[in-house]
Structure 1
Amino acid sequence: MTAAERTASALRGLDAIKGELADLYRDLHAHPELSFEEHRTAAEVARRAASYGYEVTTGVGRTGVVAVLANGEGPTVLLRADFDALPVTERTGLPYASVNDGVMHACGHDMHVTCLLGALRLLADARDGWSGRIVGVFQPAEETAQGARAMVEDGFYERFGIPDVVLGQHVAPLPVGMIGAHAGPAFAATDALRVRMFGKGAHGSRPEASIDPVVMAAATVMRLQTVVSREIAGGETAVVTVGSLRAGTKDNIIPDEAELQINIRTYTPEVRRRVLAAVERIIKGEAATAGAEREPEITEIDAFPVLDNDAAAVERTMAAIGAVLGEDRILDPGPVTGSEDVGYFATCADREVPLCYWLFGGAGPAEVVTAQKAGTFERDIPSNHSPFFAPLVEPAVTTGVTALTTAALAWLGGAKTGPQPSSPPSSKSPSDSR
């Protein structure tokens, strides 16, 4: 059986489970859970994966789930989906909108889980046509950049082995049915900082008695806008965003301090160092200029590494997916300024593991074309983290399941030969946790 025949055989089972997967997606969307609180989601994932014949371990990195299917000698393929939601109040008006006030799957992780479970089901049903090991990883806390690291630090490699490739995908506001992958630095590194600037409080009628932290913070915000425009070369990429500025309690009180939260995106270590140094210099410089008697406090909120897609892995994986979906469905979106922590699974082992992580579309093609022609794409097509973000259930689920299943088969071995290897001795049943 050729690779194309194996893939076609596996995908023949998709029509029979489309309805079930759509129902699962809507259920997950309606019941979002924040980072490291994904207990309901984890339980549902574990139950379904176990029913497909996978050996399931729960509680990995707190709430993570790992599903392993060993099927003869061959490569170990890691398939990853994240499953935490965001503190966003949903405004889609969907009949299956979030029932958890102030929490929403605004980044599409519910879609990721649905597609991975669908792929695991198809791969299990088609196990006569491939050999190797599938390691399905359902990761918590991607939004806080803690989940992948927590799973690795919980002995992931010792318990489940080092994979031969890491594969994953993210739904995005591309036209549904499209797949986008970029070789090299594909998702930006992130540094999130919390800054406390200290002044001296006073009555609003006597500003001369104060060292005003509001003015200090405002000057800092404006000065930070010059980092990218004046300190980063035109051919380099960086983003500096002040997402939060909080100070004071009343109009006639000059407060003692102000707090800023800053988000920084970069692609190379050199630019990252330059931006971080400039940000720190400006914060401290504005405080000194204002006459602050106490130096600002700068603390890290979280950090994501650059997601570096292996060029050969991208070529091999996209060729396989393009052969099934059509080569005209594959595009290179260029570097994405969003961030992802899936790279931990490829970089924290004893050896470098090839990584291929791609985008798949969830937006209506007609709507995208209309918005692009009108120059209103950013306004009219909700993006990830928007309270209006709502991928089309179909054919987004079908595309995601097809892509992930096809990608896995592009890396697994042919029909099973030889004895089936035993699973790592530390694997547990779905009811076990740690």
Structure 2
Amino acid sequence: MLTTMSPIRLDSAEQERLRESYRHLHRHPELSMQEHRTADYIGAELDSVGIPNFRCGGTGVVGVLRNGEGPTVAFRADTDGLPIQEETGLDYASAARGELPDGTEVPVMHGCGHDVHVACLLSAARVMVQRSSTWSGTLLLIFQPGEETAAGAQAMVDDGLWSKVPAPDLVLGQHVMPIPAGEIRWISGNAMALADSWKVTLRGRQAHGSQPHDAIDPIVLGAHMITRLQSVVAREIDARRAAVVTVGTFHAGLKENIIPDRAEFTLNIRTLDQQTRHQVLAAVRRTLMAEATASAAPEPEIEELYTFPLLVNDHTWTHSMVKAMKTEFGDQQVVESEPLMGSEDFGTLPQSAQAPGVFWYFGGHDAATLEQPAVPKNHSPHFAPAEQPTLETGARAALAALYRGFNGV
């Protein structure tokens, strides 16, 4: 029999180590698939408590803690930062710089909470080592790069992740969100959206700004496309199905009196099921081609940048985890949620391992922050989770889930 650990409490020394780890990670973010120093730090932390580890997927780190007979439970934390100029005013704010794939230098910030995720999993790992007599099995600690670009999970799988470790019986993950600190939210079944990102390049004909009749104006063409695309969800998708079409960037021209010969914009498309996804993508592509024809322009070039998979939580294991979380935090702090239109590549891991997966959310904001007119959300330059009880909640939630995983559904 395994020892019941609820409620779990971190001693003062572990709370301080958790805080220091979080602050270090927050100060030193790195862009997707460039997390070299972060990987070094994680490896050193695992080494310090005797957990064997190895690199996988470039800048990913996998720790393997074998502790006798029993299930194999994997827990994933994502490690990458974002190209954001931090404006939190924290004394441990990031001043880091990074380089995008096109060579552009940008500020870098942990604006999505991945620093919290890593710090909490490292804390949980230390506790599992300290209390190895209370559980039995194999713990896989997966520190995954490149979540923000949907590249990291697949890179680890392509690098042979599941051939290098015991096959997992369960894969777990969590995410800090702009909800009350200390709260846990869960979703069974379809939990986070599919996401498709495209770059669309428009070709026109350059001319003087005073002679538009000599041009094929890609800016006007792009404006028509972008406006028309907003009718795809509003007029073609059943209102009972969720979908979002967003244009995130638009670039064209170098001077106000020159009609350029090209323009480009990027699209982000979110759906919660494959049928709706195929319908939206087909409608978007049809709209782009038709508008180009209407403007006597060449067909646009469409580059598929990346795709996030649907995140599906296993029903049986999700409800088992809910019981564990309620035991740990109390019924009032564990709340069922609706599917999110945000996306995660976490789903790649359980899908590729053919194992059940469970992913939940924990709160990061105190009451004062939640009362602000504009609450800082993930990907905001002002996103700064309250250190406590956020960090301890994340570590305790990870431990509660791990113990449930090793005890069985």
Q: TM-score, normalising length from structure 2?
A: 0.95
Instruction: Encode CA deviations 1:88-140: one digit per residue, 9 max, x unaligned.
Output: 11111111000214100000000000000000011111110110000000000
For residue 102 of structure 2, what is the aligned residue in structure 1?
Answer: none
The equivalent position to 2:22 in structure 1, one of 25, 35, 43, is 25
Instruction: Encode CA deviations 1:49-88: one digit per residue, 9 max, x unaligned.
Output: 1222211112x00010000111111000001000000011
The equivalent position to 1:154 in structure 2, one of 145, 159, 162, is 159
Counting aligned pairs with the same residue, the percent is 46
SS of aligned partner of 2:282: helix
Amino acid at match of 1:180: R
- The answer to which structure, 1 or 2, has the higher relative contact order (CA under 8 A, 6+ apart) is 1
Cα distance in structure 2, aligned partners of 1:232 and 1:344 = 27
Relative to 1, partners in 2 of residues 1:167 and 1:342: Cα closer, same or farther, differing over 3 Å? Answer: same
CA shift for structure 1 position 6: 3.4
For residue 429 of structure 1, what is the aligned residue in structure 2?
Answer: none
The equivalent position to 2:61 in structure 1, one of 61, 65, 68, is 65
For residue 356 of structure 1, what is the aligned residue in structure 2?
Answer: 358
Amino acid at match of 1:52: V
For residue 331 of structure 1, what is the aligned residue in structure 2?
Answer: 335
Cα distance in structure 1, aligned partners of 2:20 and 2:251 = 42
Cα distance in structure 2, aligned partners of 1:328 and 1:162 = 35
For residue 393 of structure 2, what is the aligned residue in structure 1?
Answer: 399
CA shift for structure 1 position 12: 4.1
For residue 36 of structure 2, what is the aligned residue in structure 1?
Answer: 39
CA shift for structure 1 position 38: 0.8
CA shift for structure 1 position 393: 1.0
Relative to 1, partners in 2 of residues 1:213 and 1:188: Cα closer, same or farther, differing over 3 Å? Answer: same
Cα distance in structure 2, aligned partners of 1:334 and 1:300 = 28
Amino acid at match of 1:255: P
SS of aligned partner of 1:348: helix
The equivalent position to 2:88 in structure 1, one of 88, 92, 104, is 92
For residue 344 of structure 1, what is the aligned residue in structure 2?
Answer: 348
| 1:7–1:409 Cα contact (<8 Å) kept | no
CA shift for structure 1 position 167: 0.5
For residue 73 of structure 2, what is the aligned residue in structure 1?
Answer: 77
| 1:14–1:122 Cα contact (<8 Å) kept | no
Cα distance in structure 2, aligned partners of 1:21 and 1:7 = 20
Relative to 1, partners in 2 of residues 1:124 and 1:96: Cα closer, same or farther, differing over 3 Å? Answer: same
CA shift for structure 1 position 2: 6.1
The equivalent position to 2:182 in structure 1, one of 174, 177, 180, is 177
For residue 48 of structure 1, what is the aligned residue in structure 2?
Answer: 45
Equivalenced residue count is 399
CA shift for structure 1 position 14: 3.9
CA shift for structure 1 position 413: 4.0
| 2:10–2:392 Cα contact (<8 Å) kept | no
Cα distance in structure 2, aligned partners of 1:286 and 1:313 = 47
Cα distance in structure 1, aligned partners of 2:53 and 2:6 = 25
SS of aligned partner of 1:45: helix
Amino acid at match of 2:70: G
Amino acid at match of 1:46: G
For residue 422 of structure 1, what is the aligned residue in structure 2?
Answer: none
SS of aligned partner of 1:86: coil
CA shift for structure 1 position 322: 1.1
Amino acid at match of 2:364: G
Cα distance in structure 2, aligned partners of 1:306 and 1:14 = 38
Mean CA deviation greater in 318-327 or 394-403: 318-327
Cα distance in structure 1, aligned partners of 2:216 and 2:35 = 45
For residue 239 of structure 2, what is the aligned residue in structure 1?
Answer: 234
Cα distance in structure 2, aligned partners of 1:399 and 1:143 = 23
Q: TM-score, normalising length from structure 1?
A: 0.90
Cα distance in structure 2, aligned partners of 1:413 and 1:184 = 22
SS of aligned partner of 1:281: helix
1:172-321 alignment runs, 5 A limit? 172-292=177-297, 294-321=298-325
Instruction: Give runs of ≥4 in structure 1 deviating > 2 Å.
Output: 5-8, 11-16, 365-368
Cα RMSD of the aligned pairs, angstroms, is 1.3
Cα distance in structure 2, aligned partners of 1:53 and 1:410 = 23
| 1:29–1:97 Cα contact (<8 Å) kept | yes
Instruction: Encode CA deviations 1:391-413: one digit per residue, 9 max, x unaligned.
Output: 01111000000000110000114
Cα distance in structure 1, aligned partners of 2:289 and 2:250 = 16
| 1:248–1:255 Cα contact (<8 Å) kept | yes
| 1:180–1:330 Cα contact (<8 Å) kept | yes
Amino acid at match of 1:276: L
1:111 aligns with 2:116: yes
Cα distance in structure 1, aligned partners of 2:10 and 2:248 = 46
CA shift for structure 1 position 264: 0.3
The equivalent position to 1:143 in structure 2, one of 140, 145, 148, is 148
SS of aligned partner of 1:412: helix
| 1:132–1:413 Cα contact (<8 Å) kept | no
- Structure 2's unaligned 5+ residue stretches are 98-106
1:381 aligns with 2:375: yes
Cα distance in structure 2, aligned partners of 1:325 and 1:301 = 40
For residue 425 of structure 1, what is the aligned residue in structure 2?
Answer: none
Cα distance in structure 2, aligned partners of 1:85 and 1:287 = 37
SS of aligned partner of 1:34: coil
Amino acid at match of 1:364: D
Cα distance in structure 1, aligned partners of 2:155 and 2:338 = 29
- Structure 1's unaligned 5+ residue stretches are 415-434
Amino acid at match of 1:38: E
Amino acid at match of 2:222: A
CA shift for structure 1 position 367: 3.6
For residue 430 of structure 1, what is the aligned residue in structure 2?
Answer: none
| 2:6–2:327 Cα contact (<8 Å) kept | no
